Chain A
Amino acid sequence: MKYAYFPGCKIPYYVPQYGAATKAVFKALDIQLADVEFNCCGYPVRHLSQHTYVLSSARNLALAEREGCGIITPCKCCFGSLKKAEYLLKESKELKEDVNRILSRDGLKYEGTFETKHILSTLYHEVGTKELKSRVVKPFTKLNIATHYGCHALRPSAVTQFDDPMDPKIFDQLVEVTGAKSVPWALKLECCGNPLWNKNETLARSLTRRKLEDGMNAGADYLCVSCTYCQIQFDTVQSDMLSASGNGARSLPSLLYPQLLGVSMGLDEKALGIHQNILQGPGVLNFVAPPPPTEES
């Protein structure tokens, strides 16, 4: 299996551990991730110009086609943007022609050969929970995880085709593969608040706070996310919110899914960048089940 790896703009500087953990897990699973120098998916510029956004996404899709494979991305906002662009380019012949006219300046052409994947969809559909389970050597016990689905993978479902938008299961099953328990919580499918960062930070924080409180009340030890922006919100922004609110404030630290899976697969936690998460919480390694007693003891 080979994919063109699309880290997006934020991983290299803001969440390098997400890139490292994704690469480590995929290497262990023997899935080849080709490094291609992509451009931005267009998600941030979409507020200013939809056309510029579609053009940006289309260039990436064309670059991957030149590499001979589809895109895989760990970021749900990149995923949603690329999927939406694929959808629009399929829907409108004129748009596709127009975009290809511009791409031809770089000697590129978008045909629509491949479908963009999110790492969770590949892990679930291509690798499968059975295979993943067989790779788990250090299962967790008594680890309660609140899975955060992430808006831009889940919705609009007609475009992203990620999972059932009203009752999704993929992420919970992937989390439970590791031995952790996915706890039910009311705001599981709601927004993390990050899209309003730099735009209306008060509202962004209030959305984040609401989710965090709901997750804590559900008895979660950790949030688990699989999106760059959600992690920025739940790790970087939550930590800033905690320092602003002083000592004693409750927190709900967030883990990136490849970190959770990687630990249970026995990968080196340094390589998974767990130390780079700002909020460490109770320490995920403490939930690893002790090895079964040997016969002598």
Chain B
Amino acid sequence: MNTDTFFSAGLYISLAVFGVGLLYKVFTWFRNDVAGTSQTTGQRVGAFIKGFFATIFSPRIGGLLKSFILDGLLQLRVLRDSPTRWVMHMCIYAGFMLLLLMHAMDSIITSKIFSDYASTLNPFMFLRNLFGALVIIGVIIALVRRSKMKVLRRISVGMDRYAIIILAVIMLSGVGLEAVKILSESRFNYMVENYAALDDEEVLPLKAYWAKEFDVVFSEPVPVDDEMMVEQGKGEHDISCAYCHSKPTSAFMSYAVAQAIKPAAPGISSQSVERGLWYLHILACFLGLAYLPFSKFIHIFTGPLSLMANEVMDPKTSDPANWATKQALELDACMHCGTCSSRCSVGISFEDIPNMAIYPSEKLALLRKFTKGKDLSPSELSLLREGNSICTRCMRCTDVCPVGINLQDLWLKLKEKLDRKGYPEAFSFARNAVEAEQRAKPAEEEIRFVPGGDGFEKNFNLSTQAHTFSQCFTCQTCTNVCPVVASYENPQEELGLLPHQIMHSLRFGLREKTASCGMTWQCVTCYMCQEHCPQGVKVTDILYELRNMGYSHVTKNGTGAQASV
């Protein structure tokens, strides 16, 4: 297969995959539904068209444009989060876009605008290197951030690495290819044959000039020190070459690489190396194009869409059908940048409870899987439950998301989704589970007379507080001041054990019975009991400890195993 056929076939295949992939994604935005409303895809498309025209023919068009320009193009939300990250993103985004338009699409864009365009002529040659250098700087910053920042390091997955690898391969193969071409004798011969009508005698001066000024490495010795010869070569160069070739020093990156590999030039400037690099460069570009709809790169479309949609939509006034479509789009708009997770209000909990679903970005990844109708395993559902229960809905992730995803609303919908699936919030789950376990036990097992409690206060995290139950002399003051006890006609029946009975039972080591009784889980934490206790028993704190014990018991090994999302 010659290179032209390869190029055309590759381009059309990858364009087709890209197009079909993108269409499929758009289709899923109208089909997938986080909240579980019952509209059909058709109804949602209809609602979208109606909403779309209602918006663009209203003053809200201003909001759309504003968010597209300020947050989409200029990335002001990223700048607010971190200037370093803004530089990184701008380098990659601006560099790559400009390379795409000026270099990759030169035959349809650049050559149409500039009639004297040639890829080896300045300013194009210089700019290509400049744009490439921007992307490479951006990729280096990205790599450093991903490896140095604690939360980013934790959440990075294959998807993030592939994106960086593809970008790096495209850039490095491009630079390498240009470097090899600079040095290449065969490329020189090919150009002379096709563009200069010179006989063998005339070629030698041109070779001398190009060896001296353009760094081509020839296998046969070339008289570069013969000034007359070089001068003659310059004359030929001015006639046949100059209108297409600027000096390679302007291609500053490739030129530097060429200088570095020059000693090995006779070996690596062979046609096969040049061709190999060309294939690598082109293949990586096509792969990137075809992979785009399925990778985090899709955020170049979904990011601005999410920003604009959230600018003009409101959960109270928007059509629920459009809200559902927007939420499905938002799941694809997340590019896993980790801003939400790095700044999450409860991210610190991960240091103690190693559940990745505490981090918003990872919770969103699981929610995406959940929404696509794939079955989550019970352990994934448990992790989601725990992560979403620890979340305080503080709104910060929504405030800082660079693509404006309304994460807050996704978490509210996730809670409903988990409730429907039989995975209620962690607190209720633990309460129900310990109560059920206790009910299932035969009555005689409950009584275990081990005075002093079997050393079980060691199970309390903060034992300086907890051991005080042993000072209880059951005066019932705690029970008498308890507003929960006072709320029931028949508290004993509703609550199982009353506060003073819990303190007393603890002296007998009745761990399960106290951790599972209604009082332990209905405590309103007002600290009335503790404040009034004449014996200094930390009643409320002990009830906290019992709930902790119950939770860690029903989640078995601690509070949740390491999750790989």
Contact = CB atoms under 8 A, between A and B. Distances in A.
A102 interface: yes
B346 A56 contact: yes
13 contacts: A10-B392, A50-B461, A50-B544, A50-B545, A51-B461, A52-B349, A52-B353, A55-B348, A56-B349, A152-B525, A155-B526, A157-B531, A190-B483
A240 B37 CA distance: 24
A235 B547 CA distance: 29
Given A9-B392, A44-B390, A156 B527 contact: yes
Contacts of A154: 527, 531
A295 interface: no
Nearest to B395: A13
A204 B522 CA distance: 10
Interface string B337-369: 000000111111101110000000000000000
Interface in A168-214: 190-191, 193, 195-196, 198-200, 203-204, 206-207, 210
A155 B527 contact: yes
B352 A55 contact: yes
Given A40-B345, A88-B462, A91-B464, A165 B524 contact: no
Given A190-B526, A210-B487, 18 more contacts: A13-B408, A45-B346, A47-B548, A48-B559, A49-B353, A54-B462, A56-B346, A102-B351, A152-B525, A155-B527, A156-B538, A193-B524, A195-B524, A196-B522, A199-B428, A203-B484, A203-B487, A206-B487
A49 B462 contact: no
Interface in B448-485: 461-462, 464-465, 483-484
B346 A156 contact: no
A88 B530 CA distance: 16
Contacts of A105: 150, 351
A155 B353 CA distance: 28
Nearest to B151: A106
A12 interface: yes
B461 A49 contact: yes
Contact of A45 (B349, B395, B428, B483): B349
A39 interface: yes
Nearest to A198: B425
Contact of B346 (A39, A50, A106, A210): A39
Nearest to B536: A158
Interface in A220-259: none
Contact of A165 (B348, B425, B461, B531): B531
A278 interface: no
B344 to A, nearest CB: 8
Interface in B539-565: 540, 544-545, 547-548, 551-552, 559
A156 B345 CA distance: 26
Closest 9 A-B residue pairs measured CB to CB? A155-B527, A9-B394, A191-B526, A9-B392, A13-B395, A151-B526, A52-B352, A40-B345, A50-B461
B427 A48 contact: yes
Interface of A: 9-10, 12-13, 37-40, 44-52, 54-56, 59, 88, 91-92, 95, 102, 105-106, 151-152, 154-157, 165, 190-191, 193, 195-196, 198-200, 203-204, 206-207, 210
B283 interface: no
Interface in B391-413: 392-396, 399, 408
A234 B89 CA distance: 46
Contacts of A55: 348-349, 351-352
Nearest to B551: A48
B428 A48 contact: no
B396 A12 contact: yes
Contact of A106 (B150, B392, B395, B408): B150
B2 to A, nearest CB: 57
Contact of B345 (A39, A48, A200, A206): A39
Contact of B548 (A12, A49, A203): A49
Nearest to B392: A9
A195 B521 CA distance: 11
Interface residues of B, number: 51
Contacts of B343: 37
A193 B530 CA distance: 18
B528 interface: yes
B426 interface: yes
Contacts of A95: 462
Contacts of A199: 427-428, 431, 521-522
Nearest to B486: A210
A156 B465 CA distance: 12
Which of B150, B464, B524, B551 has most A Cβ within 10 Å? Answer: B524
Contacts of B427: 47-48, 198-199
Nearest to A80: B527
B295 to A, nearest CB: 31
B394 A151 contact: no
Contacts of A165: 531
A195 B347 contact: no
Contacts of B346: 39-40, 45, 56
Given A50-B544, A106-B150, A152 B392 contact: no
A9 B351 CA distance: 19
Contacts of A40: 345-346, 348, 392, 394
Which of A50, A154, A193 has most B Cβ within 10 Å? Answer: A50
A155 B345 contact: no
A196 B343 CA distance: 28
A196 B524 contact: yes
A89 to B, nearest CB: 11
A236 B278 CA distance: 65
B483 A191 contact: yes
Nearest to A102: B351
Interface string B295-332: 00000000000000000000000000000000000000
Given A50-B461, A105-B351, A106-B150, A44 B524 contact: no
A92 B426 CA distance: 29
A28 B411 CA distance: 38
A95 B464 CA distance: 11
Contacts of A50: 461-462, 544-545, 548
A43 to B, nearest CB: 9
Contacts of B426: 48
Contacts of A204: 524
B541 to A, nearest CB: 8
A158 B530 CA distance: 10
A47 B389 CA distance: 11
A106 B181 CA distance: 48
A206 B522 CA distance: 13
A191 B526 CA distance: 6
